[in-house]
Amino acid sequence: MGGFLPDYLIREQAAVGTLVIFAVLRIIFAALAYDRGWRISIVERCFIAAAVLYCVPQLFDLLIHAYGTRATSAELEGKVAGAAIALFFAPIVGHKLGYE
């Protein structure tokens, strides 16, 4: 083995990391917004923008480097999937906790 990880492992690792980061931070910021009386829609928009910014480096690499894009595309797919899942389910958890 040349020390290379298969695509599915890269994708899963990126998805789980992104899911944990964005879900936990989204719930923490929902609690903070609730405490300070901020609108939750502002928090939601900020996290969508943060998710896009989090995925930009892989998107940039994918667009600039035409070669060796296998690992980059797998990481981008994982990050997008993890962010989408986190941003979908974190409001549900925040609502159950009483922050939304």
Helix axes 69-97, 40-64, angle to 10 degrees: 170
* pLDDT 10s digits, 39-55: 888 888 999 999 999 99
80's tokens: 């997008």
- List, for residues 22-78, the tens digit of each pLDDT value: 989 988 998 898 899 888 888 889 999 999 999 998 888 888 876 666 778 888 889
pLDDT of residue 5: 78
User: Do residues 38 and 98 lie in contact, with contact meaning Cβ atoms separated by under 8 Å?
Assistant: no
Instruction: Tell whether pTM > 0.85.
Output: no
6 φ, ψ (degrees, to nearest 5): -65, 155
DSSP-assigned letter for residue 68: S
**36: helix, coil or strand?**
helix
